[in-house]
Amino acid sequence: MAGIQVPRNFRLLEELEKGEKGIGDGTVSYGMDDSDDMLMRNWTGTIIGPANSVHDGRIYTLKLFCDLSYPERPPQVRFHSRINMNCVLNDGRIDVGRFPTLGNWRREYTMETVLTELRREMVSPANKKLPQPPENTNF
């Protein structure tokens, strides 16, 4: 069945509908910013910090930008909420060299994959004990 590729816009509509229904236990979620944008480029994602880490219970907001090359190319992702993580740069952007989901992007990955993997990173040994900026502050 190789070769059947859902084109960008229909792929994003699928992601939109999944996001509107709600994903799993709600620890990650996302939605579209501008309901008038037929190209569906700007999205806001949310990650609830995982237990057993300094992020426990914190709510992180992220901005995802899906340009016309998505999902051939990864979305541009940055944290809006301040966070200290080894794959997050000083301005909130993701260091793709330290975050393989974006660095080694595959077409079948989705915004949900990005958010879920970032959440998983939060409990990695490198990240789970890093000192954090005050809660509810933004880049």
**Contact status, residue 96 vs residue 38, Cβ threshold 8 Å:** no
Tell me the Ramachandran region of residue 75: left when phi exceeds 0, alpha when psi lies from -120 to 50, beta otherwise: beta
Is residue 4 involved in binding other proteins (CB under 8 A)? Answer: yes
CB of 22 to other proteins, least distance (A): 19
If binding is defined by CB under 8 A, does position 38 make contact with other proteins?
Answer: yes
When the beta carbons of 13 and 59 are compared against other proteins, the nearer one is: 13
Kindly state the smallest distance separating residue 36's Cβ from other proteins, in Å.
Answer: 6
Sign of the alpha-carbon dihedral angle for 131, 118, 60, 23 = negative
Strand partners, 59: 48
Binding mask 63-102 for other proteins (x = CB under 8 A): ----------------------------------------
Nearest to 27 by CA among 112, 87, 94: 112
Q: Binding to other proteins by residue 10, rule CB under 8 A?
A: yes
Report if residue 1 touches other proteins, rule: CB under 8 A: yes
The 10 Å Cβ neighbour count of residue 105 is 18
| Least distance from other proteins to the Cβ atom of residue 80, Å | 24
Q: To which H or E segment does residue 77 belong?
A: strand 76-79
Which residues would be at the binding site for other proteins (CB under 8 A)? 1, 3-7, 9-10, 13, 16, 35-36, 38, 40
